[in-house]
Amino acid sequence: MNASSSPGSPLLVVGLLAVAGAVVAGLVLVQRVGTTYADGLDVAADSAALATDSVDPLASMTDNLVTFADAAETGIADARVVLASAQVSIDELGVSAETSLAETTEGVASLAERLAGVVESIERIIPGDRESVAEDLRQVADGLEPVPADLRALGAQLQETAGEIEGVDPTLAELGTSVAALGDDLASFAPALDQLQVTADGLARRIDDAGDRVETDLWLARLVVVLLGMIIAVALILADRRARVRP
């Protein structure tokens, strides 16, 4: 009986030392894992907070852009109406200057010339020295002579300008369509931001809950390591005792 117990004691000591070393290593590992897990939770919490803080300004900016897009679309539509009205008015003014005004001016000049002839005939009948009205009328007619050509040139320029204004309308229409599409895209993006806000808030709550459980989980893990070590140690002791009582 003594012969069987002598080799068992050193093995028991070695086994217990190994168990103690394993328990210590397990506790160190649990601590390191817990620290890493806590650091990961801190990083996740910072990320969730950053996401939450970023969503609010982004949502506000999106709402402002949607409002701006709506206002821009309305402004472009109003500008198209104003430009269309201006184009019609300028074109009509150009046509009038090129035709009616020029012809009227020519008629006035011709009338002044004829009146000058009539007045001159009358002045010949009436004796006396006085300023010639006929000469004044001829000066008026001479002054009006280049005006019809200028009016026709102005009318042509006005009609050309009206054509250029009309050519701007398709560009404005395309711009209005693009702005409207941008507004629709931004409006459809708003629900995604709301969902992101909800997700970030939920993640932050779960991280807080996990952070509250970290210390408890670490103590439970330490307890498990110690209990496993104790169980193995008890098993070694029992095995050693059985070896001692073996005949």
Residue-wise pLDDT tens digits, 115-137: 777 776 776 666 554 456 667 77
CA atoms of 188 and 62, how far apart (whole Å) = 10
- Tell me, what's the pLDDT at 136? 72
Higher-confidence residue: 48 or 90? 90
Which 8-state DSSP code applies to residue 99? I
Domain extent for 138 = 2-245
At position 88, the amino acid (one-letter code) is: V
- Tell me, what's the pLDDT at 213? 77
- Can you read off the two tokens belonging to residue 171? 């560009």
For the whole prediction, is pTM greater than 0.85?
Answer: no
Mean pLDDT computed over 7-20? 74
Q: How many domains does the chain have?
A: 1
Pair 69, 178: CB distance under 8 Å: no
- Tell me, what's the pLDDT at 7? 46
Query: What average pLDDT does the structure give for the chain?
Result: 78
Confidence band, pLDDT 50/70/90 cuts, at residue 4 = very low
Q: Is pLDDT above 50 for 101? A: yes
CA atoms of 167 and 173, how far apart (whole Å) = 11
**Cβ atoms within 10 Å, residue 155:** 21
- Tell me, what's the pLDDT at 126? 65
Q: Give the domain CATH number at 208.
A: 1.10.287
Per-residue model confidence as pLDDT tens digits over 217-243: 888 888 888 888 888 888 878 877 777
CA atoms of 136 and 117, how far apart (whole Å) = 11
Mean pLDDT computed over 41-67? 78
3-state secondary structure 118-140: HHHHHHHHCCCCCCCHHHHHHHH
Q: Is pLDDT above 80 for 181? A: yes
